[in-house]
Amino acid sequence: MGRRRYCSIECRQRLRYSMNIRTGLLRALNTRYATFYFTETLIILDVLPYGSGELFSYIFPRTPDRKPVEDFCTLFNILGNQWWAERNRTNKRYLASRLVLEKAESKNADAAPIRPLDAKRPAVLAKHLSFLKLQKKDLDSPELQKKIKSAYRRQAMRYHPDRGGDAAGFRNLHAAYEQLLGWLENPVFVRRRGFPDRWFYDGATNRWVQPAPRWVKF
C-alpha cells in the first residue's frame, strides 16, 4: 500500500495490544530496553538487559501473506515456549533466560541503536491549527507570529458575522488565535522517548510505544 507499513489503523492497534500482553518474556529476560521493527522479509527484536554490555537480536523471516502482528506473536510464542521448557527442566529462571538469550545474535550494546531518543512535540491542540489552516511544521518557522496573524486575518474574513459568517465559528477562531499567540510567548512541549522507525519497550514502564510520527523531531 505505497509507503504505508500497516494495512490500517486497526492493524497497528492490534499489534500494540499483542505486544503489551506479551511482555512477560521481556521481564523474564530482565529487559531494560527493547525495540521491534520489520521489513518485507524479516522481523527483528533487539533486547538490552539491565546491566548488560551486549545487545541480543532475534531475527526471524517473515511469513508470506501474514501481518506483522501474526509474525510478532509467532516469534514470542517460540521464545516463550523455549523459556518455559528450560524453566520446567531445571527449575531455575536464570538458566531459562540464559538459554533464550543464547538463541540470539549478540553485539556490543554501545554500538547499537537501542537506547531511546528523546523527542519533543509542541503542546498545541490540532484543532487550534486547523481553525487557522496552519500545519504543525509551521510551528518551527522563525516567522511564526506573522504566519499566525496572516492566517487569522484570512480566516476572519470567512467567519466574521458581518461578512455572513457564523458567530460561534468566529469565537472558536479567535480563541485558537489567542491560544497560538500564547504558546508562541511561552512554548510548551510534550516529551516522549522512542524511535522514529521502530517500536520501543521500556522496562521501567513495561509498555511498548509505537514509532513516533515523522514530524516529531529527536
What confidence score (pLDDT) does residue 120 get?
Answer: 65
What confidence score (pLDDT) does residue 42 get?
Answer: 93
Measure the CA–CA gap between 129 and 140, rounded to whole angstroms: 13
What confidence score (pLDDT) does residue 2 get?
Answer: 40
Strands (DSSP E) along 72-195, which ranges? 105-108, 117-122, 189-194
What confidence score (pLDDT) does residue 1 get?
Answer: 36
Q: Are 129 and 136 in contact (CB under 8 A)?
A: yes
Measure the CA–CA gap between 63 and 65, rounded to whole angstroms: 6
The residue type found at 169 is: G
Q: What is the pLDDT of residues 105-141, one digit of tens each?
A: 988 877 556 666 666 667 667 778 888 888 877 877 8
Measure the CA–CA gap between 138 and 59, rounded to whole angstroms: 40
Strands (DSSP E) along 50-127, which ranges? 54-61, 105-108, 117-122
Rounded to 5°, angle at Cα 11 from 10 and 13:
60
Measure the CA–CA gap between 188 and 120, rounded to whole angstroms: 10
Burial environment of residue 181 by CB neighbours within 10 A (0 to 12, 13 to 18, 19 or more): middle
Give me the residue spans of the domains in the chain.
Answer: 9-115+196-209, 124-187
What confidence score (pLDDT) does residue 132 get?
Answer: 85
94: left (phi over 0), alpha (psi -120 to 50) or beta: alpha
Segments of the chain with pLDDT less than 50: 1-4, 215-216, 218
What confidence score (pLDDT) does residue 129 get?
Answer: 83
Identify the three-state secondary structure at position 55.
strand
Domain 124-187: give its CATH architecture.
Answer: Orthogonal Bundle (1.10)
